[in-house]
């Protein structure tokens, strides 16, 4: 018997669309696993945008000048917007914002592990903008071609806004590297602490990635973790050298044959430890989010009451 | 009043993956009829793969005349643009 007979008609159309590089839109039929996989990935992305505001927000009141403060506020404001675009894209898959926030709070849903590291000095704000946003951009550019329409369109919008993020971060590092010895040391120290966690942002090696094969077939993901990580390393090494920073990896070496940098082994035990809840700031990040959510409850309630009142008085007039 | 048809705004997605774009408006008695009219009026030559119709009275719009005060605080932030940050020699992919 022909194997394809076993497929439901919707599934054939679905896979044919994906294979033809067409987008899947919210009202199209899609396999339940595709839907769940997307909910997991897009909401994790949304949570990362929002939780990522915390290490940067930590320095808004202590930015070294009014201009740097305004820039950092504008950046953090963008990240809040990115969270919103992505939550809205997730909601087109038939899940509510409340459920998504709840999953974050119970730990059922993850966010990028890098935000579980502390921002100890002003140079960390430079390192985050330069490295963390660069890594995010490498990933997000590839996701502009993801198969789910609302996600792809959100990525296009986000990528447009990101370039200022990495530039302002790099600019902080550059300014410090042009400064005193103490400032240069501060920049180098930030790079030393953020380099490896940035490489971990791309996830496990291709052979060990739990969701990769199916996600590639469904074109939810477009490029492999290792492929994206290599691109990031190649760019960042050049950028570090241009301003006199030293990448903290003794095995780092240009490989002429491959046309890429070779780099040292990533500490996957640390990655596992942080992702499973035991990084330096995991508890603090979640506790802060929960508290902010709780403290905002009266605003949401007041808005609902106001809306109901408006509606009643409009009905009276009519 | 009651027998007057309602105004609907019509949005068309020309290709899968693209946003719906506003193309115009039409009168209809209800949303389903508006959808059928929109099909006949706006997509006779394969202009779209998906149509949205929205009752015009459900659209809340900003006023062009309020432009200055509405957008004012957004115009004086050049630092929101990547071009404001100069790059050092030898760095291009940023
Ligand atoms: Fe972002
Ligand atoms: Fe960003």
Asked whether residue B45 is assigned to any structural domain, the reply reads yes
Taking a contact as any Cβ pair under 8 Å apart, which residues of chain B between 22 and 81 contact chain A? 50, 77, 79-81
Distance of alpha carbon A215 from alpha carbon A271, whole angstroms: 22
Residue B53 within any structural domain of the chain:
yes
List C-alpha distances in Å: A15 to A19, A35, A259, B18, B68: 6, 14, 35, 19, 49
Task: Report the Cα–Cα distance between both ends of chain B, in Å, rounded.
Answer: 60
Residue B81's closest CA among A66, A67, A76, A75? Answer: A75
pLDDT at B1: 45
User: Would residue B5 count as lying in a domain?
Assistant: yes
What domain count does chain B have? Answer: 1
Residue B26 belongs to a domain: yes
Task: Reply yes or no on whether the pLDDT at B29 is more than 90.
Answer: yes
Partners of residue A254 on adjacent β-strands: A261
In a domain, B80, yes or no: no
Spans in chain A with pLDDT lower than 50: 1-5
Query: For residue B55, what are the domain limits?
Result: 1-59
**Over the range A93-130, which residues count as b (16 or more CB within 10 Å of their CB) and which as e?**
bebeeeebbebbeeeebbbbbbbbbebebbbbbbbbbb
**CA distance to partner chain A, nearest, from residue B25 (Å):** 23
Q: Please check whether residue A108 touches B, CB under 8 A.
A: no
Residues 6+ apart with CB under 8 A from A89: A42, A148, A150, A151, A153, A154
Distance from CA of B16 to the nearest CA of A (A): 6
Query: Is A39 within 8 Å of A93 (Cβ atoms)?
Result: yes
Chain A residue with CA closest to B88: the answer is: A242
Is B65 a residue whose pLDDT tops 80? no
Contact (CB<8Å) B82/A164: yes
Write out the E strands in chain A.
Answer: 253-255, 260-262
Tell me whether residue B47 is in a domain: yes
- Residue B88 in any domain: the answer is no
**Do the Cβ atoms of B77 and A242 come within 8 Å?**
no
Distance CA A84, CA A81 (A): 5
Kindly tell me if the per-residue pLDDT of B2 is higher than 60: no
Q: HEC states along A31-77?
A: CHHHHHHHHHHHHHHHHHHHHCHHHHHCCHHHCCCHHHHHHHHHHHH
Q: Which helix (H) or strand (E) holds A8?
A: none
HSE (CB half, 13 Å, CA atoms) of A129? Answer: 32
How high is the pLDDT of residue A8? Answer: 66
Of A70, A153, A167, the CB nearest to B94: A167
Yes or no, beta carbons of B80 and A164 under 8 Å apart:
yes
| ipTM score of complex | 0.83
Is pLDDT of B62 > 70? yes
Element (H, E) at B10: strand B6-13
Instruction: Identify which of B37, B34, B33, B38 has the alpha carbon closest to the alpha carbon of residue B23.
Output: B38
A69 to chain B, any CB pair closer than 8 A? The answer is: no
Neighbours of B27 (CB within 10 A): 13
Cα distance between residue A148 and residue A38, in whole Å:
8
Interface touch A242/B88, C-beta < 8 Å? yes
Q: What is the pLDDT of residue A122?
A: 98
Round to whole Å and give the CA distance between A184 and A160.
31
Chain centroid to Cα A297, Å, comes to 26
The predicted-structure confidence for B39-49, as pLDDT tens digits, reads as follows 999 999 989 99
CA distance A104 to A106: 6
At B20, which CATH number? 3.10.20.520
Backbone angles phi, psi at A137, to 5 degrees: -65, -45
Count of C-beta atoms within a 10 Å radius of residue A206: 14
Within a domain: residue B64? Answer: no
């Amino acid at each position: 018997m022909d194997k394809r007979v076993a497929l439901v008609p919707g599934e054939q159309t679905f896979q044919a669309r994906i294979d033809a590089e067409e987008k899947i839109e919210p009202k199209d039929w899609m396999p339940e696993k595709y839907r769940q996989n997307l909910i997991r990935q897009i909401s994790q992305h949304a949570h990362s945008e929002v939780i990522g505001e915390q290490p940067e927000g930590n320095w808004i009141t202590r930015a070294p000048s009014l201009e740097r403060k305004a820039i950092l506020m504008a950046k953090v404001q963008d990240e809040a917007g990115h969270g919103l675009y992505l939550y809205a894209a997730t909601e087109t898959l038939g899940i509510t914002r409340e459920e998504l926030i709840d999953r974050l709070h119970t730990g059922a849903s993850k966010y990028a592990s890098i935000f579980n590291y502390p921002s100890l000095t002003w140079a960390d704000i430079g390192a985050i903008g330069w490295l963390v946003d660069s890594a995010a951009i490498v990933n997000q550019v590839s996701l502009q071609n993801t198969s789910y329409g609302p996600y792809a369109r959100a990525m296009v919008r986000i990528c447009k806004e990101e370039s200022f993020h990495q530039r302002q971060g790099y600019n902080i590092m550059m300014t410090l590297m042009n400064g005193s010895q103490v400032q240069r040391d501060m920049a180098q120290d930030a790079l030393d602490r953020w380099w490896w966690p940035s490489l971990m942002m791309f996830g496990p090696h291709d052979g060990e990635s739990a969701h990769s094969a199916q996600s590639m077939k469904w074109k939810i993901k477009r490029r492999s973790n290792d492929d994206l990580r290599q691109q990031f390393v190649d760019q960042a090494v050049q950028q570090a050298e241009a301003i006199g920073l030293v990448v903290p990896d003794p095995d780092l070496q240009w490989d002429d044959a491959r046309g890429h940098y070779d780099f040292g082994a990533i500490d996957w035990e640390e990655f596992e430890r942080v992702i499973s809840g035991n990084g330096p700031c995991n508890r603090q990040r979640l506790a802060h989010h929960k508290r902010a959510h709780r403290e905002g409850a009266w605003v949401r309630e007041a808005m609902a009451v106001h809306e109901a009142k408006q509606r009643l008085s409009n009905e009276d007039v009519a | 009043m009651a027998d007057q048809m309602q105004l609907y705004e019509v949005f068309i997605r020309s290709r899968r993956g693209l946003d719906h774009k506003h193309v115009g408006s039409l009168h209809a008695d209800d949303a389903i009829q508006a959808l059928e009219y929109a099909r006949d009026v706006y997509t006779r030559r394969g202009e779209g793969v998906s149509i949205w119709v929205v009752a015009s009275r459900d659209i809340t719009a900003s006023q062009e005349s309020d432009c200055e005060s509405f957008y004012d605080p957004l115009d004086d932030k050049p630092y929101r643009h990547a071009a404001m940050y100069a790059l050092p020699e030898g760095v291009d992919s940023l």
